[in-house]
Amino acid sequence: MRVGITYDLRDDYLALGLGEEETAEFDRLETIDAIDQALKDLGCATDRIGNVRSLTARLARGDRWDLVFNIAEGLQGYSREAQVPALLDAFQIPYTFSDPLALAMTLHKGMAKHVVRDSGIPTPDFIVVKAYRDIAQVDLPFPLFAKPVAEGTGKGISAASRLSSRHELCSQCARLLSEYRQPVLVEAYLPGREFTVGIVGTDDEARAVGIMEVILRNGAEQHSYSYLNKKRFEEFVEYRPVVGEEADQAIEIALAAWRVLECRDGGRLDLRADAKGQIHFLEVNPLPGMHPESSDLPILCTMSGTPYKDLVRWIMESARRRVSG
């Protein structure tokens, strides 16, 4: 099987003059190397394609693949993660992970939460602030939590994201609207434990591969799995495997959200408990980081004793079943 690999290499964008935070979601070369090697170990012939522009050029030249292992994040717009899958759909080339609809919908956290909430899955009360004047419409009780509506890797999240007053709400929303040039998701702050659930598979075949609690150490930015905490996770974050009733509840909610959002093949979901211990959906990442040592999904697999190659194999098997079925 000839497998192409699509990705956004962080060094390429840094060389173009983009900053550290702007490129935080893009992949390091060691991630591409790890995926490439795992695919070769599974018997695939690999071809490193690169980003959406490289894919466009290759398609125009007539290049084709049996399947594409896609981890390209894209750069611009709510549909940036959907660009590569949309192109591949147009040329009838199968690929791993979710389709353009799921990727665009879940990147916009407000849209994803509307679907999840309307399906009866617990999620914190929220409102999307599209402009400064919309702050007056926020009537949720404090404390609240604010973050950009369509960023990943904790971008735009800091200790200032937890809001205790209307003054803090106005100040933080104004800053995020100006700095990230997109709406702000404002939601009820949940004070309980925070979990990450790893999922592989699609629809009824989806299953949890692990669950861990995110515990902030001394010196970390408190109240959130922030950009700084993620960037310096070895110093500021402890990942602890979870078992028991809360773990079962978190897995049940994660799988329900995964299926209703029609995510595919592999990813992770972030959840948090309220003051009564009820687990709530926060967000989903259907295009998960795949660095073998620093990305959450591979970390979860490592905790459960699953080699990186097996994670890649599970993702590929799920994609192949979809294509053949």
- Residue 301 phi/psi, 5-degree rounding, is -65, -40
Task: Specify the pLDDT at position 154.
Answer: 84
| pTM (predicted TM-score) | 0.94
pLDDT digits (tens, 9 = 90+) for 32-91: 999 999 999 999 999 999 999 999 999 999 999 999 999 999 998 999 999 999 999 999
pLDDT digits (tens, 9 = 90+) for 228-269: 777 888 898 899 999 999 999 999 999 999 999 999 999 999
Is the pLDDT at 318 greater than 80, yes or no? yes
Task: Specify the pLDDT at position 220.
Answer: 85
Task: Specify the pLDDT at position 221.
Answer: 82
pLDDT digits (tens, 9 = 90+) for 116-154: 999 999 999 999 999 999 999 999 999 999 999 999 878
Report all structural domains of the chain as residue ranges with CATH numbers, in order of start. Answer: 2-95 (3.40.50), 125-188 (3.30.1490.20), 191-324 (3.30.470.20)
